[in-house]
Copies of this chain bind each other. A is one copy, B any other.
Amino acid sequence: MIKVGIVGGTGYTGVELLRLLARHPQVQLTAITSRADAGTRVDAMFPSLRGYVDLCFSHPDQSQLDQCDAVFFATPNGIAMQQARALLDAGVRVIDLAADFRIKDIPTWEKWYGMAHACPELVAEAVYGLPEVNREAIKTARLVANPGCYPTAVQLGFLPLIEAGLVDTSNLIADAKSGVSGAGRKAEIGTLLAEAADSFKAYGVPGHRHLPEIKQGLARAAGNEVGLTFVPHLTPMIRGIHATLYSRIKTDADLQALFEQRYASEPFVDVLPAGSHPETRSVRGANTCRIAVHRPQGGDTVVVLSVIDNLVKGAAGQAVHNLNLMFGLPEATALDVVPLLP
C-alpha cells in the first residue's frame, strides 16, 4: 500500500482527491492537513465522504507527512515550493496541484505569480505532469508539477496540430469557458450563486496566469515560440471546461485521422467522430478529455473543441494518474469512473 498525504484538504481539488483516492485499492490515506480545520473530521465538512474517509484534518506541522510515500499539495500557489524540499529529502515523492513548479523560466513565473520563487533549483527537476506528453519522465519523477485546468484542455486540443506542423503557430486563439469550481472553495462575492448564476462573462482578458503555462507547452511541441490569445470565461455551472481553439491551417491533411492516431493509445483522451460537439457533462466526474476537430465551411480555420472536468482531468484525476505512473500501477487505477449524466 502506498501511504499518501494531502496538504490542504479543504478545497475542491482536495475533496476531489479524497473522492478518487477513497476507492484506490493501492492507496492508504494517511494524513490530510488543514491549518484552519485541524481536528475536524473530514466527513463532517464533506458528508459525501461519510463511510469512505474516517480521518480528521491534521495540522500541517504535526501530520508526519514525511512518513508518507507520496504527498499531494492541493494548496494555493506558493505553499508547495516552501515544503517540497524537505519532503523530497525525506524520500517522499511530491505532486503539486498548484502552479509552483509548472513554469521553467523563473522570472516568468515570478512575474505572473507576483512572488519570489522559494525553491528555483527544484523547478528544473520537476516534471510537467501531462501524461500524454511526458509519460516516461513522470514514471521516474520525484516531483511532478500537475498541469492547470485550462492548460490541460487547451494543450490536448492543440498538440496534434502543432506537433504535425500543420498550423500557423504565430496566431493561435483559445477561447475557454470554465465552471465556477475552477475559482476554488473560497469565500468570495464574485462566485456566489446570486452573482454567477444565469450570467456569463469573460475575465482576465489582459492576461491570465495560465497563459505562460500554455505557451510553454505549445512552444515545446512547436519547437519555437508561439503566439497565443487566451480568453477565459466564467460559465454558470459547477464543473467543466470547454476550450474552443482556433488556428489557421498551412498544409492540408486528414485532421480526423491525425487526432485519432495521436491519441489512439491514450486511456484518457477520446477523439469523437467527425462532426461531433462534445458536452462538458459527458466527462462529469471522469478523467477523460473528449475532443472534436472541425474545419467549418471547408475554410482555412481549424476549430478544435476540447472538454474536460476541471476538477478531474484538470486537477485531481490527472494527479492520481500521475501517482499511478510514478508507482508503476495500471494507469486507470481508481480512475475507471463512468461520467455522471444527466
A62 close to chain B: CB less than 8 A: no
Q: How many chain A residues touch B (Cβ–Cβ < 8 Å)?
A: 88
Report chain B residues within 8 Å CB of A23.
336, 338
Contact at A303–B231, with CB atoms within 8 Å? yes
Given A296-B206, A340-B19, also A194-B171 (CB < 8 A)? no
Report chain B residues within 8 Å CB of A307.
200-201
A236 close to chain B: CB less than 8 A: yes
Contact at B179–A194, with CB atoms within 8 Å? yes
Report chain B residues within 8 Å CB of A49.
338
Contact at A200–B279, with CB atoms within 8 Å? yes
- The complex places the Cα of A191 from the Cα of B199 at a distance, in Å, of 16
- Closest-by-CB residue of B relative to A187 is B187
The smallest C-beta distance from A77 to any residue of chain B, in angstroms, reads 19
The smallest C-beta distance from A303 to any residue of chain B, in angstroms, reads 6
- Per-residue 0/1 for A242-266: is the Cβ within 8 Å of any B Cβ (1 yes, 0 no)? 1010101000000000000000000
Among A193, A201, A275, A276, chain B packs the most CB atoms within 10 A around the CB of A193
The smallest C-beta distance from A53 to any residue of chain B, in angstroms, reads 9
Report chain B residues within 8 Å CB of A197.
193, 197-198, 236-238
* 20 contacting pairs across A/B (C-beta < 8 A): A23-B338, A48-B341, A49-B338, A50-B282, A50-B290, A171-B248, A173-B173, A175-B246, A179-B194, A187-B188, A191-B194, A198-B238, A198-B284, A200-B235, A200-B242, A201-B277, A205-B277, A205-B294, A206-B296, A285-B340
Contact at B200–A246, with CB atoms within 8 Å? no
Query: Knowing that A48-B283, A177-B233 are A-B contacts, what are 4 other residue pairs whose CB atoms are under 8 Å apart, sorted by A's residue number?
Result: A50-B282, A193-B196, A229-B301, A231-B244
Report chain B residues within 8 Å CB of A235.
177, 200, 235-236
A227 close to chain B: CB less than 8 A: yes
- The complex places the Cα of A339 from the Cα of B15 at a distance, in Å, of 11
Given A177-B235, A202-B242, A237-B200, also A48-B282 (CB < 8 A)? yes
Contact at B205–A177, with CB atoms within 8 Å? no
Given A199-B237, A200-B242, A233-B244, also A342-B277 (CB < 8 A)? no
- Closest-by-CB residue of B relative to A170 is B300
Contact at B277–A22, with CB atoms within 8 Å? no
Contact at B342–A290, with CB atoms within 8 Å? no
A155 close to chain B: CB less than 8 A: no
Given A187-B188, A201-B277, also A173-B338 (CB < 8 A)? no
Contact at A200–B177, with CB atoms within 8 Å? yes
Report chain B residues within 8 Å CB of A193.
180, 191-193, 195-197, 236, 238
- The complex places the Cα of A207 from the Cα of B188 at a distance, in Å, of 27
Report chain B residues within 8 Å CB of A311.
342
